[in-house]
Amino acid sequence: MKVLHINAGLEDGGGKNHILSLLSQFDPTIAELLVLEDGIIADEAQKLGITVHVLKQRSRYDLSILKRLTQFINNHSFDIVHTHGARANFIFSTIRKKVAARWLITVHSDPTLDFMNRGIKGTLFTKFNLASLKKADHLIVVTDSLIQPLLKLGISQKKMTIIYNGLQFEPHTPKPSIKNTVFTLTCIARLHPIKGHALLLDSLHAARFTKFTLNLVGDGELKASLEKKIQQLTMQEQVNFLGFLNKPQVDETIANSDITVLASYNEGFPMVLLESANQKTPFIATDVGDIALLVPDKSYGWCVPAGSTESLTDALNEAYAAWENQTLASKGERLYQLASNEFSLERFYRHTFALYEELVHS
């Protein structure tokens, strides 16, 4: 069996970590990676020993690569092509009938919302991606909550398999024993409307405490408007834009935080929360996707209604009180035990491999 994963190559968040963590478990003679552009995914994949091919698409509109991609897949006799992301999905959809491989797509988030607030281009990209999803032989969804939007698109549930993200949990993850002098929060998410950064800022402004530091990890279209909002709330001294960080930097930032926060309006099953669990750092997150699976009750962290400033503010106040009385660490320990038992990388790999075998032999 030979599998080719295809991605645009410019992912810098959970999608990237999903692809690389999965491929790191495969024998490189079985699963390979092809990216449309050279960038961070290719760099990190090579460091992990993953076989990487770069097609060097000049722009997202450069369709001259179609012939090369078709020849590459057929010449290497891949049994399965596994695409990730709207661009890879659309590119492969245009050559689907010219290759013999089965086609599998991982749906990482609600495809109807991926290009929200992007104008005409966003509307077109959404239509192209939705059409691609309907053409694929099978879909992996990373959370149960993504099934309903796909059913509404007319995609049969028989074509969908839920496989939750997994992570290689470290057995002895060190947690700094020195307490931060100010309450330190970290939000790791691209600066996009769906991630709820503005809601988080409003909630922090409404909280009872004022001595805190918020680290914003990630880049995106909302940076300028968020900077303006932070000035309006007079929180310039408390909020740090850290931009893109590599994995070791992300791990260090999480480890040195008291809590991580995700205020998203929509999610699948975020890798960043598993990364937080791996560092034994509890989190506050909105109750979207299957995030609640990581927070059975408040002894593990906080899961609050999406879009509610009041609920998020209450959770922030409770987390601050737990930080003051030094009970956050116990939540982090419980979160680590749950996540490492239920969402291991080995389990993620095993379920994906089983689906590959099923597709090849069906």
pLDDT 10s digits, 36-83: 999 889 999 999 999 999 998 888 778 889 999 999 999 999 999 999
* Domain ranges, ordered by start, for the chain: 3-166+344-361, 183-342
DSSP code, position 292: G
CA neighbor of 4 nearest in space, from 108, 55, 98, 78:
78
Q: Do domains 3-166+344-361 and 183-342 have the same CATH topology?
A: yes
Tens digit of each residue's pLDDT (9 = 90 or more) over 146-199: 999 999 999 999 999 999 999 999 876 556 666 899 999 999 999 999 999 999
**Which parts of the chain have pLDDT scores under 70?**
116-117, 172-178
Q: Which two tokens stand for residue 78?
A: 């891949």
CA neighbor of 104 nearest in space, from 63, 32, 160:
160
Provide the sign of the torsion angle of the four alpha carbons 188, 194, 198, 201, taken in this order.
negative
Residue written as tokens 């040195």?
256
What is the architecture, at CATH level 2, of domain 3-166+344-361?
3-Layer(aba) Sandwich (3.40)
Residue written as tokens 């991609």?
69
pLDDT of residue 122: 79
pLDDT of residue 124: 87
pLDDT of residue 17: 87
- Decide if 222 contacts 253 (C-beta within 8 A): no
Main-chain dihedrals φ then ψ at residue 124, nearest 5 degrees: -65, -45
Diameter of the chain measured on Cα atoms: 63
Which CATH code for domain 183-342?
Answer: 3.40.50.2000
Residue 176 CB: number of other CB atoms within 10 A? 11
- Decide if 224 contacts 195 (C-beta within 8 A): no
Torsion on CA atoms 145, 150, 154, 158, rounded to nearest 10: -70
Residues shown for the chain: 362
pLDDT of residue 57: 87
Burial (0-12, 13-18, 19+ Cβ within 10 Å), 186: buried
- Decide if 340 contacts 169 (C-beta within 8 A): yes
Q: What is the CA radius of gyration of the chain?
A: 21
